[in-house]
Structure 1
Amino acid sequence: MPIIILIVVLGSLRYFEIGPVANLSWWWIAALFGVAFIWFEFIERMLGLDKRKAHDDNDRIREERVKKTFEKKPPGRR
């Protein structure tokens, strides 16, 4: 995600010609797009980061469901 933020910031600074980025070639920003594409399409899958995020989300949902279930007390019991 930081690389996406970097692309947006650099692209905006270059487009509005602000600071030292005004003279930066668009090819550098396009190269960052290429790096982001390679990261999200290939490297993240190879490292298993995409599955890890999905598993973390599933674990969080399961923990919330269990917590919600056990917070309710059955009628007639203390």
Structure 2
Amino acid sequence: MFFLVAGVALLLLKYLQIGFVADWSWWWVLSPFALAVVWWTWADATGYTKRKAMEKMDQKKRDRIEKQREALGIKPKRR
């Protein structure tokens, strides 16, 4: 996501001829988009994306269980 935001910002600066980015080559301005593609390819190939999604779902599940226990008046488990 960072690469996309940086890419859009650089693209706008280059297009509007603002600041020092106006003198840069288009290759430098568009490089964050290429880096975003590389990042997403790596993340999908290694399972990073899926692992993060599963961790998020597990946390929601733990929070929901904890909320139900509190509603029933059961003390939370200590580890």
TM tier relative to shorter chain: 0.7 to 0.9
- Percent of paired sites with the same residue: 34
Q: Which has the higher contact order (CA 8 A, sep 6+)?
A: 2
Deviations 1:45-68 (A, max 9, x none): 233210121112111211121012
Question: In structure 1, what is the equivalent of residue 71 of structure 2?
Answer: 72
Q: What is the TM-score with the length of structure 2 in the denominator?
A: 0.75
How many residue pairs get matched?
73
Structure 1: which 5+ residue stretches go unaligned?
none
Q: Is the 8 A contact 2:11 2:30 kept in 1?
A: no
**Backbone CA RMSD of aligned residues:** 1.7
Structure 2: which 5+ residue stretches go unaligned?
74-79
Q: What is the TM-score with the length of structure 1 in the denominator?
A: 0.76
